[in-house]
Structure 1
Amino acid sequence: MTAGAIAMMVVAMVVLWGGLAAAIVNIVRFKGPEPGESMRDL
């Protein structure tokens, strides 16, 4: 593999894994209303 291909692979991995980490942090930080607290008309 060339240096350019390795650099592109590293950039893609950082974007993908960084997005996954950001999504997990966002889910953990913002927990929506508990099911008992939400008002649902069913």
Structure 2
Amino acid sequence: MNPSAIVLMVLSLLLVWGGLGVSIAMLMARPERSEWPDGWTDDEADG
């Protein structure tokens, strides 16, 4: 593999795994939805 391919591979891996890490961190910070659109209640969303 040439150096440009390795750089692109590393950037792609950082983007994918970094996005996963940010998503997990945000879900841990706010696991439940605190606001609902107009006309919705918590009970309607459950089932």
TM-score of the aligned structures, taking structure 2 as reference length = 0.69
Map 1:1-42; keep pairs closer than 5 Å: 1-32=1-32, 39-41=42-44
Name the % identity: 26
SS of aligned partner of 1:32? coil
Unaligned runs of 5+ in 2: 34-40
RMSD: 1.9
Structure with the greater relative contact order (CA < 8 A, sep ≥ 6): 1 or 2? 2
Paired residues, what number?
Answer: 38
Give the whole-Å Cα distance in 1 for the aligned partners of 2:29 and 2:20. 14
Give the whole-Å Cα distance in 1 for the aligned partners of 2:11 and 2:31. 30
Unaligned runs of 5+ in 1: none
Instruction: Give the residue type in structure 2 aligned to 1:3.
Output: P
